[in-house]
């Protein structure tokens, strides 16, 4: 037995703040309220539905994760956030059209009561959106101060013991990190100087960390993965994690690629294309915003297949990712993958995947799990990048030079073993002895 970590109990209310009250966050909130009312099970959520094996298989110890680790209860969650367009969670849910009226009806009063605060928003980063509920403050330093005041106000108003923030806002235009992102001091000077390289999402991260609120980034833009934010999360003792929810096509990719590699089959090419018609699709129709997403999606294959170790199998891969905005499809995305593999004597084969998924239905439980696990990590005294939550992310942050782990099954093992270790249980190795 390893020693159990000292974890503060999850007493009182946990506020979940989402910058961005669009398709993902309104679907997430609606699902939690529906589950609370007993109208549905929280399908897709590990924190609510998964069991975890403890000890050897013969010991038959297999509790639910939520009974094994001290997580906040669904009944203790309070929701809030910021959005430059949506007037409340009900209108946001209606606009995005993910859930049907019959499912929204029993939740409508509660959803209507969730009114986002005015956003820190700048159209330069999301050209396709016209913000109306926006803070009328020009100075980036004062925008950060206003967000910090919002957070404090929300905390008091809703009698929250603790808060977490999950970015569910639009994907911002592509950028590389610059000098202003090097250190906290440089970033703060940049806020004062209105540095053009500081995007709104970065101001939210800064405000969250200065308020001791853990931050998870569900979009692919730069925010928690900047050196200044990593430094700030360490000095404030607050967990961060990013980036980009692993939902449709990349989830499939990180399921299939490890399988191809496990059998030592070769890969010649992987062509992925998507059609989607929601607001996210509209934002991603702009080349600058698409580039941010593309970079996040392209990384996974190399990390899983390790072409440097397997040049004969994976040394020459054409990997292409496309996203096409197609309004009739709404949130019900269609993702096609054409995978060219080869086997014995080099003979070619093809795998075709046509995934008719629902983006926000897949993303919503991820928001819940990230929020609950980030709160757990904070109570367990953790700070900095929470690599054990890579399971949920397309482009996970890594704390080592080895880079992130993308294989879904290794990520799942890492997540569960981290929980086991924190609770004083042995990690499960799946070896002949274990
Ligand atoms: N749905 C998925 O499967 C999935 C997967 C991975 C990543 N994501 C990312 O999650 C994010 C949310 O996706 P969605 O489908 O809900 O998109 P959405 O367009 O429905 O919602 C995003 C919301 O963010 C708001 N917003 C934009 N800038 C903001 C700012 N500065 N401050 C506060 N709010 C702001 C918009 O007004 C909009 O209401 C996107 O960045 C998307 O790329 C989604």
DSSP 12-39: SEEEEEEE--SHHHHHHHHHHHHHHTTS
Closest C-alpha to 323, from 390, 391, 267, 394:
394
- Give the full edge-to-edge strand order of the sheet including 266-276: 318-325, 266-276, 334-342, 348-356
C-beta of residue 359 within 8 angstroms of C-beta of residue 44: no
| pLDDT range class, residue 4, cuts 50, 70, 90 | confident
Q: What is the per-residue pLDDT for 195?
A: 97
Domains of the chain, start order: 13-245+361-422 (3.40.50.720), 249-356 (3.30.360.10)
Q: What is the per-residue pLDDT for 191?
A: 98
Q: Is the CB of 395 under 6 A from ligand 1?
A: no
What are the tens digits of pLDDT across the range 182-238? 999 999 999 999 999 999 999 999 999 999 999 999 999 999 999 999 999 999 999
Contacts of 277 (CB under 8 A, 6+ apart): 325, 326, 327, 328, 329, 330, 331
What are the tens digits of pLDDT across the range 48-91? 999 999 998 889 999 999 999 999 999 999 999 999 999 999 99
Instruction: Say yes or no to pLDDT of 2 above 90.
Output: no
- Which of 170, 199, 289 for a ligand 1 pocket mutation test, highest count of atoms within 8 Å of Cβ? 170
Q: What is the mean pLDDT of the chain?
A: 94
Q: Is the CB of 122 under 6 A from ligand 1?
A: no
297 or 79: which leads in pLDDT: 79
Contacts of 103 (CB under 8 A, 6+ apart): 30, 34
Instruction: Say yes or no to pLDDT of 433 above 80.
Output: no
Q: What is the per-residue pLDDT for 277?
A: 84
Q: Is the CB of 251 under 6 A from ligand 1?
A: no
Instruction: Say yes or no to pLDDT of 434 above 60.
Output: no
Closest C-alpha to 170, from 369, 19, 323:
19
Long-range contacts of 367-370 (CB under 8 A, 24+ apart): 367/16, 367/18, 367/24, 367/25, 367/28, 367/166, 367/168, 367/218, 367/245, 368/28, 368/31, 368/32, 368/42, 368/45, 368/47, 368/48, 369/45, 369/46, 369/47, 370/166, 370/216, 370/218, 370/241
Q: Is the CB of 154 under 6 A from ligand 1?
A: no
pTM strictly above 0.85: yes
Q: What is the per-residue pLDDT for 41?
A: 97
Q: What is the per-residue pLDDT for 162?
A: 98
Q: Is the CB of 171 under 6 A from ligand 1?
A: yes
Mean pLDDT of 269-293: 82
CA 92 to chain centroid = 19
Ligand 1 atom having least distance to the Cα of 170: 41
What are the tens digits of pLDDT across the range 100-138? 999 999 999 999 999 999 999 999 899 888 889 999 999
| pLDDT range class, residue 374, cuts 50, 70, 90 | very high
Ligand 1 atom having least distance to the Cα of 245: 6
């Amino acid at each position: 037995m390893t020693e159990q970590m000292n974890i503060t109990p999850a007493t009182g209310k946990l506020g979940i703040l989402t910058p961005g009250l669009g398709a993902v966050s309104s679907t997430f909130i609606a699902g939690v309220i529906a589950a609370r009312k007993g109208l549905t099970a929280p399908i897709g959520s590990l924190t609510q539905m998964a069991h975890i094996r403890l000890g050897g298989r013969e010991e038959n110890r297999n509790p639910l994760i939520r009974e094994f680790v001290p997580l906040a209860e669904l009944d203790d969650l309070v929701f809030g956030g910021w959005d430059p367009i949506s007037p409340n969670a009900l209108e946001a849910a209606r606009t995005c059209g993910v859930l049907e009226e019959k499912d929204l009806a029993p939740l409508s009063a509660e959803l209507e009561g969730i009114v986002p605060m005015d956003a820190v928003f700048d159209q330069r980063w999301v050209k396709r959106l016209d913000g109306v509920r926006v803070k009328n403050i020009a100075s980036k330093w004062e925008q950060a101060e206003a967000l910090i005041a919002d957070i404090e106000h929300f905390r008091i108003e809703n009698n929250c013991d603790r808060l977490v923030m999950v970015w569910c806002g639009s994907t911002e235009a592509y950028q590389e990190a610059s000098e202003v992102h090097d250190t906290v001091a440089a970033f703060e000077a940049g806020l004062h100087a209105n540095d053009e390289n500081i995007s709104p999402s970065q101001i939210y991260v800064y405000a969250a960390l200065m308020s001791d609120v853990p931050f998870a980034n569900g979009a692919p833009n730069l925010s928690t993965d900047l050196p200044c934010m990593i430094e700030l999360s360490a000095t404030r003792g607050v967990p961060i994690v990013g980036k980009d929810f692993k939902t449709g096509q990349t989830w499939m990719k990180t399921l299939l690629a490890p399988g191809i590699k496990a059998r030592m089959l070769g890969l010649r090419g992987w062509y992925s294309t998507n059609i989607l018609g929601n607001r996210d699709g509209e934002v991603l129709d702009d080349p600058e915003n698409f580039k941010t997403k593309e970079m996040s999606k392209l990384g996974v294959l190399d990390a899983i297949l390790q072409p440097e170790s397997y040049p004969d199998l994976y040394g020459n891969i054409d990997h292409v990712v496309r996203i096409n905005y197609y309004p009739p499809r709404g949130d019900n995305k269609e993702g096609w993958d054409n995978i060219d593999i080869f086997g014995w004597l080099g003979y070619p084969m093809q795998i075709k995947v046509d995934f008719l998924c629902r983006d926000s239905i897949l993303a919503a439980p991820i928001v819940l799990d990230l929020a609950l696990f980030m709160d757990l990590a904070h109570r367990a005294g953790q700070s900095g990048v929470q690599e054990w939550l890579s399971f949920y992310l397309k482009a996970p942050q890594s704390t080592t030079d080895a880079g992130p782990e993308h294989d879904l099954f290794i990520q799942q093992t890492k997540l569960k073993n981290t929980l086991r270790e924190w609770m004083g249980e042995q990690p499960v190795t799946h070896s002949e002895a274990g």
